[in-house]
Amino acid sequence: MIDDRIPKELIRPGHNDRTVFDRVGLNELAESIRQNGLGQPPTVRPMQRVVNGVCRLCGQPEDCQHRSSDVYYELVMGERRFRAMSEVLDWTHIPCVIKAMDDGTAARLMLAENVARQDLDPIDEAAAYKRRRDELSWTLDQIAAVVGKSTEHVKKRIELLELAPDIQHLVRTKNLALSYAQPLIRLDTDRQRIAVRYLSNARNPSLDLFKVFVNELGAQQDQQAMFDLGTLFVQRTEEIAKRSSASLRVIKSDALPRVNATNDDTTGEIIARYMYELEAAGHPEAAAAVGLLLERLLQSNWVKRPRRNLDVLSG
Contact 172, 121 (CB under 8 A): yes
Question: Of 188, 189, 193, nearest to 221 (Cα)?
Answer: 188
Name the maximum alpha-carbon separation found in the chain.
89
Residue 23 predicted with pLDDT over 90:
no
Q: The domain 2-100: what is its CATH number?
A: 3.90.1530.30
pLDDT band at 147 (very low <50, low <70, confident <90, very high): confident
Four-CA torsion 102, 105, 109, 115, nearest 10 degrees: 120
In the chain, what are the domain boundaries? 2-100, 103-108+116-162, 251-299
Question: Of 306, 265, 312, nearest to 292 (Cα)?
Answer: 312
Q: Which amino acid type is present at position 182?
A: Q
Q: What is the pLDDT of residues 226-259, one digit of tens each?
A: 655 555 555 555 555 555 444 445 555 666 777 7
Q: What is the pLDDT of residues 81-108, one digit of tens each?
A: 999 999 999 999 999 999 999 988 998 8
Handedness of CA 237, 242, 246, 250 (dihedral sign): positive
For residues 126-146, average pLDDT: 91
Q: What percent of the chain is predicted at pLDDT more than 90?
A: 33
User: Rounded mean pLDDT of the chain?
Assistant: 81
Q: What is the pLDDT of residues 254-305, one digit of tens each?
A: 667 777 767 666 666 777 778 778 877 877 777 777 777 766 666 555 555 5
For residues 174-181, average pLDDT: 93
Residue 45 predicted with pLDDT over 60:
yes
Q: How far is CA 32 from CA 27, 36, 38, 83, in A?
A: 9, 6, 8, 13
146-157 as b/e: b if 16+ CB within 10 A: bbebeeebbebb
pLDDT of residue 235: 59
Contact 6, 43 (CB under 8 A): no
pLDDT of residue 295: 65
The values of phi and psi at residue 48, to 5°, are -70, 125
Higher pLDDT, 249 or 128: 128
pLDDT of residue 303: 54
